[in-house]
A and B are shown apart, each in its own frame.
Chain A
């Protein structure tokens, strides 16, 4: 059912505030942002899961159980809030909810959460190097949310506040491949 934009904003703010209060109480605000990102990704990639969570025949406990079985080890507060959104057929708001929550979490943590994707796990030296590079840019302390992705083949991908810097080997190779494919040979007119 179509809703008023202000009403939708208020609902998202409510979800965000509820989850923020719960995670701050448990001291898992940062972890909640990571888990929400991962849940967002899974729900986008698997429409069948979205349909199952919207099923009218399932009660709230069943939805929490489904989410708990899929996202085992996730914060129960995160699971509950997402299951309520599914019950109310508001999973379509998950993207705005995740972004709003991350913004609120950064305010609460007084830091900028930066997604870092690499092939191998970062060591402390690299973490320090990244923070030293980015803290002057944002003027705040940096919290790294690390991801391992072998498909990037090397290098690093940084993302924050919707912006992204791709310095991966995969990207460089793709650029190289495009240049080689589009380059004309010297004998051509």
Chain B
């Protein structure tokens, strides 16, 4: 890299020298045009002007080679270093960003999975709770119905028992009244005689 930069600098120096030479040559060319008619000597620079200009050029070239090019070279080196470090840093940042992105993506996937698990668990819990409440409500309603049936049955039995008692009392009362009113003494004696026949052993 450094060698490449040095070559570029050398080319730049040659080009500068050519440029300076051209600049110095243009007045002479003008003069040559005026002296076209004077022959080959017309295109050659005047030595009294050419030599000082050449000396000045060489001095300028030496000064630049001594002070300008090292500073320019240092500037390019620093610039190269800065750019390389920036590129390396950018690469590191890119790698870090990709790693962070992967971590985030993994975390997001984990979070989604966890959210799915939580939702599934919540659904399962809710389903279980719903089933439990439904079962409890059903059991309670069945118990209430059974209790109501028992109460109805008890009431029914009580009513039937009361009715039977009333019927029995009425039957006995009617029978007693019929016997008391309709039985003559002779009827009673016939009943007594029949009862005596039916009684068992008094001395058993």
Contact = CB atoms under 8 A, between A and B. Distances in A.
Interface of A: 114, 118-120, 122-123, 125-126, 129-130, 133-134, 137-138, 153-156, 158-161, 163, 165, 167-170, 173-174, 176-178, 180-185, 188
Contacts of B201: 137
Interface string B170-184: 011001100110010
14 contacts: A120-B185, A120-B188, A120-B192, A129-B196, A133-B197, A154-B192, A155-B195, A158-B202, A165-B199, A167-B199, A169-B179, A177-B172, A183-B164, A188-B160
Nearest to B195: A167
B41 interface: no
A122 B199 CA distance: 17
B160 A173 contact: no
Interface string B5-44: 0000000000000000000000000000000000000000
Interface in B20-79: none
B172 A173 contact: yes
Contact of B180 (A134, A153, A184): A153
Chain A binding site: helix, strand, loop or mixed by DSSP?
Answer: mixed
A188 to B, nearest CB: 7
A118 B188 contact: yes
Measured as residues with beta carbon below 8 angstroms from the partner, the interface class of chain B is: 20 to 34
Chain B binding site: helix, strand, loop or mixed by DSSP?
Answer: helix
Contacts of B167: 180
Contacts of B199: 133, 156, 158, 165, 167
Interface of B: 157, 160-161, 164-165, 167-169, 171-172, 175-176, 179-180, 183, 185, 188-189, 191-193, 195-204
A173 B172 CA distance: 6
Considering the complex of A and B, which 4 residue pairs feature the smallest CB-CB distances, nearest first?
A180-B168, A167-B195, A177-B168, A137-B203
Central interface residue in A122, A169, A183, by most chain B CB within 10 Å: A169
A176 B174 CA distance: 13
Nearest to B175: A173
Contacts of A180: 164, 167-168, 171
A182 B200 CA distance: 27
Given A154-B179, A155-B195, 11 more contacts: A120-B185, A129-B193, A129-B196, A130-B196, A138-B203, A161-B203, A163-B202, A165-B199, A167-B196, A181-B161, A185-B160
